[in-house]
Amino acid sequence: MRGGLLVGLLVLPCLALPGLPGAWAGGVGDGALRVTVTVNGREHSGPRPPAVRVGAQVVKRYRLVNSGEAHLYGVRVVDPAVPAGAVRCPSRTLAALGELECVARFRAVGGAHRATARVEGDIPSLQRRITATTRTGYTGVAAGLRLTERVTVRGAGGSAGRGLRVAWGSATVAYTVTNHGNRPVHAVRITDPGLGLAPGALDCGAGGGTVAVLTAGSSARCTAVVRRPPGTHRSTGLASGSDRVTTYGPRGERLPAPAITARSSAVFTLPGRGEGVAGPGSPSPSAPAKPRPTTESSGKGGAPGGRGVSGVVGGAGVVGGTGVVGGTGVVGGAGVVGASGAVGASEAVGAPLGVGGAAVAPGAVPAAATARPVPPSPSPPPPPGAIGAARAPAVAGDRSPTGPTDPTAARRAAALDDEGFLGRLRRRGREAHELGIVITLLLLLIPAAIAAALLGNRRG
């Protein structure tokens, strides 16, 4: 009897041990798992989320501590404020009385991002799931400016100084700057390097050339009036400011607020006047050149005459070349037909006094030529580009003071006019050779004549 009672007392505790809670995983409870989170090196990110610049990297570190005496399996971190799959843990098992660090890296987005992070782990032997939670988050600082501009062109008008008026125009450039971030931007200044406008040259309202504070989502307008010469001009607006917010980097470093800028551009054209107003003694910049009046000076013979008549002079259309009309009167020795600035009739070689006294009507003969005929003289070759005078008799209705021109002379003049540079050079060479022969003959005949005269005197 006593032996059976002793066996029962020894067996009953062994049967009851597997049913006792924590018999095989002692020290396990709901507070055995703890978690702490740092965001860019800042703790207590739940009540005080650190500021991170939009686009910068956010680094969240989850420190898991298991103070229980049982291993946790299938450990995972769930954080709604983190992109899916961003959390990385080196192991899915958290040993008893051990620690584990999981890390999440991602880019910050604008706005406040707070959430409750939850850590879970399983104890298979007890069929229990242990959890721990904490509040965490960050604030994404989005700062940005947008600049647009519109140009209104006004009428032309203005002066360039020194007695010359040109068509200057004016244009009104309106700049609109908008804060599309989530923080106020302070001391917004607008300049325009393309038009040479400093901040003081713009009117931004009460603040002069600077917008003191531009709240999130609001806009401000600045204007400037510029004066420029006619033509195409380019405006390059530049807006700059600062949100004055210090943010935190991935390693916990403090980052000062950067300069926030925005740019814009516009191309506009200022029209010019049709014709400028010239001052005394200054030519009009836009008026075309006008021909001189077809008159000649009335000075004495041999004095420089006026500008050549544009068109036909003396009815034969001959001004320049050989200058021979009808073989007697010489009308101009150097002019070109119709060319502005040719020498007038009073400069003609061999022209009688008073020939330049009046304009010669087309188809008429100067009166002085009929009063005092001049014998024909050998004609020099025409200058390059000039119209030879020998073509004058071919014009119908041409008459010289003494009668029609010799056909032989006309053909010879036409041949001379059509010859080229090499032909003219050969002709000059032949003329020089003939002249040399004549001089040689004279040098031989003159001494012979003198000798004959002396001999005759001796005989007498």
pLDDT of 198 reads 85
Residues 245 and 56: beta-carbon distance below 8 Å: no
Residue 375 contacts by C-beta under 8 Å, 6 or more apart in sequence? Answer: 328
Indicate whether 407 belongs to any domain. Answer: yes
pLDDT of 409 reads 67
Our CA angle for 125, 131, 137, nearest 5°, is 155
Same domain as 323, residue 261 = no
pLDDT of 263 reads 96
pLDDT of 174 reads 95
Domain boundary among the residues 122, 141, 160 is at: 141
Residues 294 and 305: beta-carbon distance below 8 Å: no
Same domain as 250, residue 307 = no
Q: 233: left (phi > 0), else alpha (psi -120 to 50), else beta?
A: beta
Q: Quickly count: other Cβ atoms within 10 Å of residue 104's Cβ.
A: 22
Same domain as 237, residue 306 = no
pLDDT of 8 reads 54
Domain range for 236: 145-270
pLDDT of 271 reads 86
Domain count, the chain: 3
Residues 100 and 91: beta-carbon distance below 8 Å: yes
Q: Quote helix, strand, coil % in the chain, to nearest 5.
A: 20, 35, 45
Same domain as 175, residue 107 = no
Same domain as 151, residue 258 = yes
Same domain as 336, residue 258 = no
Distance, in Å, from the CA atom of 39 to the CA atom of 59, rounded to the nearest integer, reads: 6
Same domain as 157, residue 126 = no
Counting as low any pLDDT under 70, the low residues of the chain are 1-27, 30, 155-167, 207, 273-407, 409-420, 460
Q: Quickly count: other Cβ atoms within 10 Å of residue 319's Cβ.
A: 30
